[in-house]
Structure 1
Amino acid sequence: MTVRVDTLPRHRLIVLAAVMVGFGMILSWQLVRWQVIERDRFIDIVQNRPTGGEQVPGRRGRVFDRRGNPLAVDTIKYQITATPHWIKHPATIAARLAPLLDLSPEELTAKLSGDAPWVLLRRQVSRDVGETIKQWDIYGLHLTPWPKRGYPEGTLAAHLLGFVAEEQLGFYGVEGYYTQLLAPPDLSKAGENELLASLPFDLDEITKQGAPDLVLTVDRIIQHIAEEELDAAIGQHQASGGTVIIMDPRSGAILALASRPVYDPEHYSQAASAELWADPAVTGVYEPGSIFKIVTVAAALDAGAIDREQIFEDEGLIEVGGRRLYNWDRQAHGRVTITEAMALSLNTVMAQISTDLGAHHFYAYLQRFGFGRQTGIDLAAESEGQLRLPADAAWHESDLGTNAFGQGLTVTPLQMACAVAAVANRGTMMTPHVLKEITSGDQTWPRRPTVARQVISPQTAEELTEILIKAAEEGAPKSVVPGYTVAGKSGTAQIPIPGGYDPQRTIASFVGFAPARDPQFLILVKVDWPRDTQWGAAVAAPVFRNIAQRLFVMMNIPPDGQ
């Protein structure tokens, strides 16, 4: 019997073995190429891939106003990079990319044809541009989602917010002060922020879930009102700029902080000058002029050096330290009370008060009111102002007279607002702040109002409030809102220049609070270099009135006696 042997499986085995040997030879060749022939090139690619600073950061903490409206959030942009070794037809691809990346075809061709293992073409392009390039599906082009700080309200509260640079570092305002708290947790944070360390929070606990969000005391609607009225005044009086601060004197909470000229924080590099980045409300210093008389009278009343019924003899001229000081109108007003002297804004009476009080007591009160040092607000780049003391070599005896009416010393608008807020708050100065609370996940850490110090007694504050009611009604009637009692003072500050003061330019201001005997808000208005009229009572007082009228309605504050 003959047995037939089927040879087909043997042939299949031979073919399969041949294929496997072939794959083995190919794999061996690739290993030899990768590990021997092109070893240095692949090591170079790996070692030169971006690390550290080019790592895509996580989400930066968001910033909201007190009502939950977003003021600063991350938006998604695309980073465009390339691996030149993998790019075919670099000139053709460069021609397609050039109009989208706003680069020349020649520059792109050079980058795509180079020997570098990795090149950055554009750090940030819009989502639309990124999606368009992504659809092309070009081998060797890489698109990485990249966070870009966005400001939904545009320039609203720009100075208060600050901005975030490409390196995810915040500068100025809230972004600068709280940059380490807002920064994504995957970014290294160099050093410790002493300012953050002073906050009454466990920052490790807050940040363990990632970058927290901040809710501010600022109200988007009030901020809009402040900016709208400031812009109107600047346009009407052809001024160069200005500042408005609105705060709650009872807590120190900042409700609005507006300054002009302004810049767009999302496009900060396009600002006309880097000087625009700094907030004039906390960084800019100026000689405050007559609104500083509030502090002089507060010191004298509290020290018992004067009383409300005391009569002063105004001769229109007083000499202090060998320097002759005059009233703004160069007139003598005869026998006046302190209330009348404030309404008439008499320089000579203020100089008489400060000299009678004496340098020791006068400057002790100025320091107690916070001049010559930072207020402690949680905004970056705060200035201290300049207050010369009798122990300083630069101090002159005449400073005791000129400082009494706001010349020869410099303050920030915020320092001036805080000083008058202390009067409104029965003599208690609160630390100004813009942070309302920190949120992370479902947890919230509120910031409590903080008492800075008692600067004058409640009785002194009440007496001074009555004086300021008359000063507003008689000295700056354009500040008054019908149906409401306003307490405040106008000022017209001269601008120092070498050898004296500018004969043309002034700073017009008004600071006041309302309702006077139960203050719900304080407003400081400062208008720089108005061209048509220089007086604070004519320029700044109406701005106070316009803002106050709108706040009474918005905050549901009833008229007096209701």
Structure 2
Amino acid sequence: MTVATIETHRRRLLLVATLLLAVGLVLTIRLVQWQVLEHEQMRALAEAQHSTKIEISPRRGTIRDRNGRVLAISLRNDQVIGDPDFFKAQMPKAKDYIISTAATILDMTPGDLRARLESGEGHYLKLKNSIPITASKKLNDAGLSPAIVIERQDRRVYPSGALLAHTLGFINSRGEGVGIEGSYNQQLSGVPGFKLFEGENYGQGLGNVPSITPAQDGADITLTVDLNIQYMAERELERALAAEKTLTGTIVIMNPKTGEILAMAGRPTFDPNQYDNVPVSVYNNPVISAAWEPGSIVKILTMAAALDTGKISPRSTFVDRGSMTYHHMIITNMDKKANGTITPAQILQYSSNVGIVQVADVLSTTAFYTYMRANFGIGSRTGIDLPFEVEGSIRLPGDPGWNPVDLATHSYGQGMAVTPIQMTTAVAAIANKGIMMRPHVVAGVQGGLESPEGPGPLRRVVKSETAATLTDMLVSVVETTVTQARVPGYRLAGKTGTALIPPPEGTYSPDETIASFIGYGPAEDPRFVILVRIDRPQVHQTGADVAAPVFRNIAQWLLAYLKIPPSDQQTRR
């Protein structure tokens, strides 16, 4: 062999070795990529080729009122699902049994049923969209699974329609929701189960029985709301809006001792069965999201703070000449009348702006805002167990734009904003001997807590003696000047509000108001607090003429419904 020949062989061997090394290096890189970098992806791909997983939907929890009446329920809708791959893998006699049994139950011809299963592919073929529960039971009892099975697809139904719509809310197809359906979606939804089919030879002796992980149904929820009280509240709200030729308003009814919401109604509203028929803005619950300048009902809180600090007493007197100058601003009474020398009770009876500004001035700026913000929670969320609660607002000393005149206007509820739930919760604390309870609409969740923080007392806002004194003053309001709120035989406490609506620019217009009344009773042992708010009434303007009669109608009905004896009988006990 010549030197040239040896050199040629050496070069060829070197080339082959280089090629083998390159191939080995490529294989090594790919193995590292598959086994390390793309491990999870490769595993998922292998599992997908090896098995088929079908989700089993859980039953969504039912929502009921405090008396067990259904407010939201998922109605059963059974679909019939076939497994073509499993069916085609069976012996002829097994196929004949499946077809003859199922065709009779499903009211199908054997030929049609067989043709659909033989021509189908995979493990999932919808044979019927819906069948009666009796047929569903027969099919389950026939033991045809997994060739033909029942798949449950629930449909959410709200039996009372638009009643309590804002509180209940809904969940859309994307899993987005409002109301209880939204805030408690995780508890209501449950946990899906799965049916796992293994292997290409499925049905031929290898993995012929699917592995099933059962679904965990959602928890049922009980609300504090009483459907009868809710109906009454919504009926009275509709009547008031019609009488005043306006469109928006709110009613809240709370148990002051527990913070339980017995009813909350708002207009405009919607039917959660057909929620997509209205603008999205209608979904907002006005009880927790529609802040407004409340007007004179805030005088309750101003008076409570002054009495509680001892800066005034029930025997204190103030001079009301109908108007006054406070830090270069002229303060006038709504009715322009001068009331002369008046007591704190008379300030509330006459709803004297001039009088309450003097009370706030005696109280001091620091004490006033401490009580408003820290004690009564104005400008803070109440923590109610519903989504999208807003804070409201009150400008504090030190905030941009605050000036001493704010103390005057805030004392009678202008220049600040509260939500209906904030105002109801604050006044409910007066009714509950000075203790504020957390407002809540959920009484219980099957296997869980009532609300994220749990219901219960939040804090003491005034002394019990202060609450008792103020209650007597508010009873005098109903008995003397706001007789539209009276219910014969019962001592009810309350206060009107006639608030001007702040314009986008310029000054307040005297032609547009928000009329309100908040009250509770019976005064000796309050069982309910009612807030009525009617926006932009067109026939009357004041809280006494517009909202107080609505309070009276609801209170009179509630006293009978709750079987509360007249006040003189309670006093004799």
Contact 2:66 2:222 in 1 (8 A): yes
Q: 2:469 aligns with which of 450, 453, 463?
A: 463
Residues 65-74 or 310-319, more deviating: 310-319
Mapping for residues 65-214 of structure 1, pairs under 5 Å? 65-76=65-76, 145-167=152-174, 169=175, 171-186=177-192, 210-214=217-221
The equivalent residue for 1:61 is 61
Alignment CA distance shift 1:481-1:211 (3 Å): same
Measure the CA separation in 2 of the matches of 1:284 and 1:126: 43
CA deviation profile, 1:441-469 (whole Å, cap 9, x unmatched): xxx86677411000000000000001000
Structure 1 residues 446, 363: CA separation in 2 closer, same or farther (over 3 Å shift)?
closer
How far apart are residue 267 of structure 1 and its match?
1.2
> Would the aligned equivalents of 1:217 and 1:254 in 2 still touch at CA under 8 Å?
yes
Contact 1:465/1:517 (<8 A) preserved: no
Using a 3 Å threshold, how does the CA distance of structure 1 residues 297 and 187 change in structure 2: closer, same or farther? farther
Distance 1:416 1:341 in 2: 20
Picking from 308, 312, 325, the partner of 1:319 is: 325
| 1:244 aligned residue (251, 254, 260) | 251
Equivalent of residue 291 in structure 1, options 297, 303, 311: 297
Q: 1:257 aligns with which of 264, 280, 288?
A: 264
| Matches of 1:80 and 1:306, distance apart in 2 | 76
Judge conservation of contact 1:478–1:537 (CA < 8 Å) in 2. Answer: yes
1:79 CA displacement: 9.1
Q: Is the 8 A contact 2:492 2:522 kept in 1?
A: yes
Asked if structure 1 preserves the Cα contact closer than 8 Å seen for 2:190 and 2:219, the reply is no
What TM-score do you get using the length of structure 2 for normalisation?
A: 0.73
- What 5-or-longer segments of structure 1 have no aligned partner? 1-42, 82-116, 132-141, 189-207
- Partners of 2:537 and 2:239 lie apart in 1 by 12
**What SS is found at the alignment partner of 1:282?**
helix
CA drift of 1:410 comes to 0.1
**Judging changes above 3 Å, is the alpha-carbon distance between structure 1 residues 67 and 318 closer, same or farther for their aligned structure 2 residues?**
same
Letter in 1 for 2:234: E
Among 285, 304, 309, the residue aligned to 2:310 = 304
Q: Give the distance between the partners of 1:288 and 1:408, measured in 2 at CA.
A: 9
Offset of residue 65 of structure 1: 0.3
Q: Distance in 2 between matches of 1:380 and 1:446?
A: 15
Deviation at 1:263, TM superposition (A): 0.3
SS of residue in 1 equivalent to 2:155 = strand
Aligned-residue sequence identity (percent) comes to 42
Give the letter aligned to residue 256 of structure 1. Answer: A
For residues 126 and 145 of structure 1, what CA distance do their matches in structure 2 show?
A: 9
Q: Deviations over 1:187-232 (max 9, x none)?
A: 99xxxxxxxxxxxxxxxxxxx9542111111001111111111111
Contact between 2:384 and 2:439, CA under 8 Å: does it hold in 1?
yes
CA deviation digits over 1:242-276, x for unaligned, max 9?
Answer: 111111000101111111111011211111x1111
1: CA distance, partners of 2:372 / 2:518: 18
SS at match of 1:502: coil
Residue of structure 2 aligned with 1:231, choices 238, 248, 272: 238
User: In the alignment, which residue of structure 2 is the partner of 1:387?
Assistant: 394
Q: Secondary structure at the match of 1:262?
A: coil
Give the letter for the 1:71 counterpart. L
Do the aligned partners of 1:506 and 1:528 also contact (CA within 8 Å) in 2?
A: yes
Mark the CA change 1:61 to 1:319 in structure 2 (over 3 Å): closer, same or farther. Answer: same
Q: Which amino acid aligns with 1:403?
A: H
> Which residue in 2 is equivalent to 1:9?
none
Q: 1:328 aligns with which of 328, 334, 338?
A: 334
Shift in Å at residue 387 of structure 1? 1.2
- SS at 2:517's partner residue? strand
Q: Does structure 2 conserve the Cα–Cα contact (< 8 Å) formed by 1:321 and 1:396?
A: no
Equivalents in 2 of 1:78, 1:496: separation in Å?
A: 55
Match of 1:371 in 2: 378
State the match for 2:349 in structure 1. Answer: 343
1:413 to 388, 396, 420: 420
| CA distance 1:445–1:317, change in 2 (3 Å) | closer
Distance of 2:164 and 2:456 partners within structure 1: 24
What is the TM-score when the length of structure 1 is the normalising length? Answer: 0.74
Q: Which residue number in structure 1 is paired with residue 516 of structure 2?
A: 509
1:401 to 408, 425, 436: 408
Contact 2:56 2:193 in 1 (8 A): no
Amino acid at match of 1:510: F
Q: Is the alpha carbon distance of 1:556 and 1:529 closer, same or farther for their aligned partners in structure 2, counting shifts above 3 Å?
A: same
Look up the equivalent residue of 1:346 and give its one-letter code: S
Q: 1:180 to 1:260 in 2, by over 3 A?
A: same
What is the CA distance between 1:331 and its match in structure 2?
2.3
Structure with larger Rg: 2
Matching residue within 530, 535, 558 for 2:542: 535
Give the unaligned 5+ runs of structure 2.
1-44, 82-121, 136-148, 195-214
How many Å apart are 1:184 and its aligned residue?
2.5
CA distance in 2, matches of 1:250, 1:395: 36
Question: Could you tell me which residue of structure 1 aligns to residue 106 of structure 2?
Answer: none
8 Å contact from structure 2 (residues 190, 216) kept in 1 = no
The one-letter code of the counterpart of 1:419 is A
How do residues 464-503 of structure 1 correspond to structure 2 at under 5 angstroms? 464-497=470-503, 498-503=505-510
Q: Is the aligned partner of 1:520 residue 2:527?
A: yes
| Residue 38 of structure 2: aligned partner | none
Work out the CA distance in 1 between the residues paired with 2:56 and 2:511.
54
Q: For the residues of structure 1 that align with 2:238 and 2:300, how far apart are their CA atoms?
A: 27
Secondary structure of 2:288's counterpart equals coil
> How far does residue 561 in structure 1 lie from its aligned partner after superposition?
2.1
* Contact 1:162–1:170 (Cα < 8 Å) also in 2: no
Q: Secondary structure at the match of 1:561?
A: helix
- How far 1:475 sits from its partner (Å)? 2.5
**Higher mean C-alpha deviation, range 411-420 or range 394-403:** 394-403
Q: CA deviation at 1:406?
A: 0.3
CA contact (8 A) 1:248 1:520 kept: yes
Distance in 2 (CA, whole Å) between partners of 1:301 and 1:416 is 19
Could you report, residue by residue, the CA deviation over 1:32-62 in whole angstroms, capped at 9, with x for unpaired residues? xxxxxxxxxxx9xx89x9999xx56321111
Quote the residue 2:280 is aligned against: 274
Equivalent-residue separation in structure 1 for 2:547 and 2:553 (angstroms): 10
Q: What's the CA shift for 1:317? A: 1.7
Change (3 A) 1:63 1:313: same
Shift of 1:425: 0.4
Please report how far the alpha carbon of residue 483 of structure 1 lies from its aligned counterpart in structure 2 after TM superposition: 0.6
CA separation in 1, counterparts of 2:265 and 2:470? 28
What letter is aligned with 1:532? V
CA contact (8 A) 1:318 1:351 kept: no
| 1:432 alignment counterpart | 439
8 Å Cα contact 2:79/2:130 also seen in 1 = no
2:142 maps to none
Change in CA separation of 1:187 and 1:236 when aligned onto 2, cut-off 3 Å: farther
Query: Residues 126, 281 of structure 1: CA spacing in aligned structure 2 closer, same or farther, 3 A cutoff?
Result: farther
Contact 1:171 1:380 in 2 (8 A): no
1:197 aligned residue: none
Deviations 1:262-310 (A, max 9, x none): 1011211111x11110100011100000111000000100011111111
Name the CA shift for 1:439/1:145 in 2 (closer, same or farther; >3 Å): closer
RMSD: 3.5
